Amino acid sequence: MENSPQLIIIGAGPAGLTAAIYAGRAGFTPLIMEKLVPGGQIVLSDKIENFPGFSQQISTRDLMAEMQKQAEAVGMQLVQEEAIGIEKKVISTASGKVYRASAVIIASGTRPRSLGIKGEKKFLGRGVSYCATCDAPFFKNETVAVIGGGNTAVEETLYLTRFARKVYLIHRRRMLRAERILQKRALSHPKIDLILKSVISEIYGEESVEGIRLLNKETGETTQLNCKGVFMFVGLEPNTQFLPGQLKLNRQGFIKTGQNLETNIPGIFACGDVRENLLKQVVVACGEGALAGFMAGKYLDKLGGQEYLDTRHPTQL
């Protein structure tokens, strides 16, 4: 057993880091596991403009670096480890280590969904991308296509216009799903062309992407579109593959919890995008992280027989 901290948090995105801040402030020394670098999925976007308290767009990297600093200041320890299994709050990692905790918070977030169409795997890194912030500069003055109609697709389409000559935004329905404010910006942008009611059926090329085939869902017509890049933003998949089989998930694989973010396994809590919730936003992830950190602290206090926080609502006192 490498380590025996009381509280282990899996995932150092907004939810996990906020959970660490709250648990740290409550007197615990949470250990946070992150398989890559702290920050979470949000750092794949360049800026954030809907985090309360900041009326101007702010850099996602700056925001997350501040969260990390704040968590470290109250005792959070960060380890670069990938959790690959949990059994009775004993966590095994890809490096072969084993960590034992008394309480666990799962804040492992999501990853971009792939469509599994012809050419998607073959051209990954050679024209196919799931991150505009990472790859947009490779497409200076080129034509690119974005697949999806949600907030991510529209935000990343707007970002791509800084580099690309033309961006086609391709969505399967007749209406975008993204927030109205983002839709308006995209629709009025001279570099963006919207293609609706269409799905991508193939990505083709020789060494790298040369174009895509589209199917119009209404007319059944198939067309080709020449482009050098294809950015896929068709939703998110939860990072839950390492969780014990008895942990309750919903049909899409997101973790089910009670209102205090407790899972069906005592001492295991979940928060942020990996949890079954309606709104995947940094502010929601932070709110859930705060509650999960607080509740995990309460759980540990009970285990240690010292409940020094009275969390009853004033009306119950």
217 is an interface residue for ligand NAP by CB under 6 A:
no
Residues belonging to the active site:
131, 134-135
Alpha helices in 26-131, H assignment, sequence order? 60-73
Q: What strands, in cross-sheet order, belong to the sheet with 7-10?
A: 77-80, 31-34, 7-10, 103-106, 268-270
CB 208 within 8 A of CB 228: yes
Binding-site size, ligand NAP (CB under 6 A): 21
Residue range at the interface with ligand NAP (CB under 6 A); choices 54-62, 209-217, 274-282, 299-307: 274-282
| Other Cβ atoms within 10 Å of 219 Cβ, number | 9
Alpha carbons 149 and 275: distance in angstroms, whole number = 22
Under the criterion CB under 6 A, does residue 173 sit at the interface with ligand NAP?
A: yes
Shortest Å, Cβ 14 to ligand NAP: 12
162 binds ligand NAP (CB under 6 A): no
Site for ligand NAP in 124-153 (CB under 6 A): 148-153
Over the window 81 to 120, marking each residue x when it contacts ligand NAP by CB under 6 A and - when it does not, the resulting string is: ----------------------------------x-----
Of 47, 122, 126, 172, which lies in the binding site for ligand NAP, with binding defined by CB under 6 A?
172
The reply on whether position 288 binds ligand NAP by CB under 6 A is no
At position 187, the amino acid (one-letter code) is L
For the CB of residue 71, give the shortest distance to ligand NAP in the complex, in Å. Answer: 23
Rounded to the nearest 10 degrees, the angle between the axes of helix 14-25 and helix 60-73 is: 20
Nearer to ligand NAP, 57 or 80 (CB): 57
Q: Out of 234, 249, 261, 270, which residue is the one contacting ligand NAP (CB under 6 A)? A: 234
Q: Which amino acid is at 119?
A: G
If phi > 0 it is left, if psi is from -120 to 50 it is alpha, else beta; for residue 101 that is beta
Provide, rounded to whole angstroms, the least separation between the CB of residue 153 and ligand NAP: 6
50 binds ligand NAP (CB under 6 A): yes
Q: State which residue, 148 or 229, has the beta carbon closest to ligand NAP.
A: 148
Q: Near ligand NAP by CB under 6 A, which window of 118-126, 273-281, 291-299, 303-311? A: 273-281
**Which amino acid is it at 120?**
E
Q: What are the Cα distances from residue 190, in Å, to 62, 162, 178, 231?
A: 30, 12, 19, 19
**Strand ordering across the sheet containing 209-216:** 198-205, 209-216, 222-226
* Tokens matching residue 127: 């024209």
CA 148 to chain centre: 16
What does the binding site for ligand NAP look like in residue numbers (CB under 6 A)? 50, 115, 148-153, 155, 171-173, 177, 199, 233-236, 279-281
